[in-house]
Structure 1
Amino acid sequence: MIELSNVSKTYGGMVKAVDNLNLNISKGEIFGFLGPNGAGKTTTIKMITGIASPDSGSITINDVNLQQNPLEAKKQFGYVPDSPDVFLRLKGLEYLNFMADMYDVSKEDRSQRINMLANRFEMMHALSDPILSYSHGMRQKIVIMGVLVHDPSVWILDEPLTGLDPKSSYTLKEMMREHANAGKTVFFSTHVLEVAEKVCDRVAIINKGVIQFCGTFREMQDHFKSNESLEKIFLELTENE
């Protein structure tokens, strides 16, 4: 569960990137976070993950206040950033063990999870190679695996499908649904609106730091009295704004 209450962030004293944002992402759902470039998506994700601090408001993850108890709050989630170029000099298995060490994952649990993830993403053959030698898609997969090795209840995924081949993309979407069906939370930012329409239980559209809509796709169609696709409604909504 993720809850943002009256969260705002201003840069340079002038540009309000996020303006009094209120969101409640429940357990058991895949929540899509959508918006054009510069809408406030990245700033919001940085605040949820503790990379940036809000100027006002509060953020809680599984009822743990991020500002008051940052370490405990960060243990609740796994975060896939929008760039997979991290720790390039480590070998794949070294990186996964490093991530497991960060979250105090036992030797037995990490071995089982690494084997499961490597098999699902077809990465077993590459674990002994340096990440620097990986293709972009392989780097994306090893980052996802590193995020999931401590089995977090909350997944925060920023454009996670970028660079993935069709099979790996399908695998990740399948895992997202399994995670939500197990009563856990997936927060999913993407520019691929067709995927959001098919995968997400609810979506929020942010533009100029303000939430323009939050709800299911059917509720969106009813609200805007439209039978158009999510992509069409999104474009009309953000262009009008």
Structure 2
Amino acid sequence: MPDRSNAQFGTSGAGADGPAPAVRITGLWKRFGDQIAVSGIDLELPAGRFIGLVGPNGAGKTTTLSMVTGLLRPDQGRVEVAGHDVWEDPAQVKARIGVLPEGLRLFERLSGRELLGYMGRLRGLPGAEADKRATQLLDVLDLAGSQHKLVVDYSTGMRKKIGLAAALLHNPEVLFLDEPFEGVDPVSAQTIRRVLERYTASGATVVFSSHVMELVESLCDWVAVMASGRIRAAGPLADVRGDAPTLQAAFLELVGAQGLNAGDSLDWLGGGAATR
């Protein structure tokens, strides 16, 4: 059994005199009808870290991130980002965060450059500064050649990159990404990865959700594991992994994965012959 005694119950391990967490979640609940999507989460995410929120499909990751970023109101609980309550002080929170949500919706009849210029001005940046940052982001994210192309004609990878550029434009303290690499080709994924690593190296915080353990293990230094609306373990990657050979192995144990030999009952499957 992996030893995760320092990684349970969502504790960050920071002392009382340590730095304030980037995100503090207390007693967070969300129900949809009879279904409980998030079940009383308590979690502190440390500042200046690359954090993975991992779990199987339906674990509650997207619902949690939606509540943390102010996109979905919780039934109960409190969320603070950079020391500000998400629902009591939304303007202060939104000024400090960048969000790349699942099912990203963009102003598709604008070009990539027009979109960034518009978003920068919405964020209160002076026009010249917004345009300067847009030029730099378009270049770094390998979108300069497509900057005058309408977003509606962008590929999935290009949409993820222009969405990331829009989320980074105002230089947020905390960046929230929901499955940022899903549907992205390897070249675009590497570009996004380089930008995120540079961003966290500056002292900013990235929180991203994923169910791809290999990706999380290669990127993150802090992990929270979620299943059935609850946090199963949280802490530095090495603590959550414990004695398991990989994060994948630790994850399967933490979420109580069953049915690994379920294919044994499918003795009719394969072989190339139809059976009637």
Q: 1:75 aligns with which of 95, 100, 107?
A: 95
> Structure 2: how far apart are the matches of 1:151 and 1:184?
9
Q: Are 1:87 and 2:107 counterparts?
A: yes
Q: Conserved in 1, the CA contact under 8 Å of 2:161 and 2:192?
A: no
Which residue matches 1:110?
A: 130
> Structure 2: how far apart are the matches of 1:161 and 1:213?
23
Residues 136, 240 of structure 1: alpha-carbon distance in 2 compared, 3 angstrom cutoff: closer
Which residue matches 2:240?
A: 220
Deviations 1:107-136 (A, max 9, x none): 232122111111111111111111111111
Q: Are 1:230 and 2:247 counterparts?
A: yes
The alpha carbon displacement at 1:49 in A equals 1.2
Q: 1:173 aligns with which of 193, 199, 202?
A: 193
What letter is aligned with 1:178? Answer: R
Moved more, 34-43 or 110-119: 110-119
Q: Conserved in 2, the CA contact under 8 Å of 1:25 and 1:185?
A: no
Percent sequence identity over aligned pairs: 32
> Structure 2: how far apart are the matches of 1:179 and 1:122?
17
Which residue matches 2:10?
A: none
Q: 2:212 aligns with which of 192, 205, 230?
A: 192
Q: Are 1:144 and 2:164 counterparts?
A: yes
Mark the runs of 5 or more structure 2 residues left unpaired by the alignment.
Answer: 1-21, 259-276
Q: Conserved in 2, the CA contact under 8 Å of 1:81 and 1:158?
A: yes
Q: Conserved in 2, the CA contact under 8 Å of 1:32 and 1:204?
A: yes
Mark the runs of 5 or more structure 1 residues left unpaired by the alignment.
Answer: none
> Structure 2: how far apart are the matches of 1:84 and 1:64?
25
What letter is aligned with 1:2? Answer: V
Q: Conserved in 2, the CA contact under 8 Å of 1:85 and 1:139?
A: no
> Structure 1: how far apart are the matches of 2:134 and 2:140?
10
> Structure 2: how far apart are the matches of 1:235 and 1:88?
40
Which residue matches 2:16?
A: none
What letter is aligned with 1:175? Answer: V
> Structure 1: how far apart are the matches of 2:194 and 2:254?
30
> Structure 1: how far apart are the matches of 2:166 and 2:237?
32
TM-score, length of structure 2 as denominator length:
0.81
Which residue matches 1:133?
A: 153
Q: Are 1:46 and 2:66 counterparts?
A: yes
Deviations 1:200-240 (A, max 9, x none): 11101111111001012221233xxx332111221232234
Q: Conserved in 1, the CA contact under 8 Å of 2:112 and 2:150?
A: yes
> Structure 2: how far apart are the matches of 1:138 and 1:179?
19
Report the structure number with the largest CA radius of gyration: 2
The alpha carbon displacement at 1:59 in A equals 0.6
SS at match of 1:168: helix
Q: Conserved in 2, the CA contact under 8 Å of 1:30 and 1:186?
A: yes
Matched residues, number? 237
The alpha carbon displacement at 1:69 in A equals 1.0
RMSD, aligned CA:
1.6
TM-score, length of structure 1 as denominator length:
0.92
